[in-house]
Amino acid sequence: MAKPVSIEVWNPSGKYRVVSTKPMPGTRWINLLVQNDVRLEICTEKKTILSVEDIIALIGDKCDGVIGQLTEDWGEQLFSTLSKAGGKAFSNMAVGYNNVDVDAANKYGVAVGNTPGVLTETTAELAASLSLAAARRIVEADEFMRAGLYDGWLPHLFVGNLLKGQTVGVIGAGRIGSAYARMMVEGFKMNLIYYDLYQSTRLEKFITAYATFLKASGETPVTWKRAATMDEVLQEADIISLHPVLDKTTYHLVNKERLAKMKKEAILINCSRGPVIDEAALVEHLKQNPMFRVGLDVFEEEPYMKPGLAELKNAIVVPHIASASKWTREGMATLAALNVLGKIKGYPVWFDANRVEPFLNENAQPPAASPSIVNAKALGLPTSKL
Ligand SMILES: NC(=O)C1=CN([C@@H]2O[C@H](COP(=O)(O)OP(=O)(O)OC[C@H]3O[C@@H](n4cnc5c(N)ncnc54)[C@H](O)[C@@H]3O)[C@@H](O)[C@H]2O)C=CC1
Ligand SMILES: O=C(O)C(=O)CO
């Protein structure tokens, strides 16, 4: 990073030094840190993705904690640097933490925070938006209109797919996958097939209750099925949305062979992580199957797309914006700041990282706890009894 480093400083005389590698939305996160005796330094460099060297420069000789971003490579080098500077806490401003080597953090005794829950609905809504946009060819139609090509209504113009009565497939029915499934089932009366390592009992109960309601109103009830294999989902579903974590088990989960198992006119949505799909194989599949459509929020080597993808009409691409609602982004910033603050202050870890609402209430002081520390067990951190 070119020196001098561009930094915005809040509360210069604060006892604890916390660095945020990016400006983040809202002011609540800043106020909470400042009120708790933190000198906050926010990196305001224009460069979008900071390198490891950049972040080492930011950490400096004394640093109690860092709030970082999913674009950064948090591994051995950064955790050892943070630890040498006296740091005990790092939080990603993201729920996904595949950019973090948690074993390295454990080695240096650094707590690793993430921001679950606050982005569930926002991310699911983007997945639903991409599903609709792909099914109804909205981006193609918009381009056609702007190009001045519309010269009157035609029976064949931009004919797409009706969702009602079709089957939606979800791979990874955790917080976001389940929220997306509920939106598609309740909103569009689709049937669900899902694959996850764990049963999603709450989701199943919700759909069963909705089916009972529909039946009682004389409508065709929706159905659900938990698939024994992922391939079952690929073969049966008309729209498939990917929502697993990215780890060794989900890298290239959707590859050439699996794409071939999907229906020729299926729609594939990815709002999880780019490497869950073999993107080069996807480009080939899209070329060979013009009726197959995708909606992608994430890419294998962000910020780049694999050659050919940008030219394909049957692909909708957006720049990793699934969690980009004002409320969610401000909430993510708050959770990330409180993860770091909680560890610095010696607070325990919140008892249920799936229920972080108390930290997001603007009208109340947040609980004296870190909302979500992923390596709490490994570090033997105490849990809040609240
Ligand atoms: N595009 C974006 O802006 C965003 C992306 N994400 C991504 O979405 C992911 C999921 O987030 P949440 O739903 O909050 O996490 P979660 O932990 O609630 O859900 C993940 C689910 O994936 C399942 N899973 C893990 N390995 C699997 C496998 N091999 N096959 C099938 N299922 C598997 C887990 O059992 C779990 O139910 C995050 O890890 C992150 O990478 C999250 C928020 C925004
Ligand atoms: O939270 C995440 O994992 C993201 O990808 C950004 O919201």
> 20 CA to middle of ligand 1, Å?
25
Confidence of residue 108 (pLDDT cuts 50, 70, 90): very high
339 lines ligand 2 (CB under 6 A): no
- Report the percentage of the chain scoring pLDDT > 70: 99
| Pocket test residue of 123, 247, 271, 374 for ligand 2, highest count of atoms within 8 A of CB | 123
Give yes or no for residue 385 having a pLDDT over 90.
no
Backbone dihedral angles phi then psi of residue 67, each to the nearest 5 degrees: -105, 120
119 lines ligand 2 (CB under 6 A): yes
Tell me what pLDDT residue 2 has. 45
> 240 CA to middle of ligand 2, Å?
20
Q: Which residues are catalytic?
A: 273, 302, 320
- Nearest residue to 161 via CA among 260, 240, 241, 266: 266
| Pocket test residue of 97, 299, 318, 323 for ligand 2, highest count of atoms within 8 A of CB | 323
68 lines ligand 1 (CB under 6 A): no
Give yes or no for residue 372 having a pLDDT over 50.
yes
70 lines ligand 2 (CB under 6 A): yes
**Each residue of 171-194: pLDDT tens digit?**
999 999 999 999 999 999 999 999
Which domains, from first to last, does the chain contain? 5-113+345-382 (3.40.50.720), 119-315 (3.40.50.720)
Confidence of residue 5 (pLDDT cuts 50, 70, 90): confident
174 lines ligand 1 (CB under 6 A): yes
Interface pTM, i.e. ipTM: 0.99
Tell me what pLDDT residue 4 has. 59
Q: Give the Cβ contact number of residue 61 at 10 Å.
A: 8
39 lines ligand 1 (CB under 6 A): no
- Report the percentage of the chain scoring pLDDT > 90: 98
- Nearest residue to 228 via CA among 255, 270, 208, 199: 199
Tell me what pLDDT residue 3 has. 57
Stated pTM of the model: 0.98
**Each residue of 354-369: pLDDT tens digit?**
999 999 999 999 999 9
Q: Which atom of ligand 1 is nearest to the CA of 117?
A: 14
Task: Name the average pLDDT for the chain.
Answer: 97
- Nearest residue to 175 via CA among 297, 67, 322, 303: 322
CA-to-CA dists, residue 39 to 17, 44, 65, 171, angstroms = 5, 16, 11, 43
The whole-angstrom separation of Cα 100 and Cα 73 is: 7
> 211 CA to middle of ligand 2, Å?
32
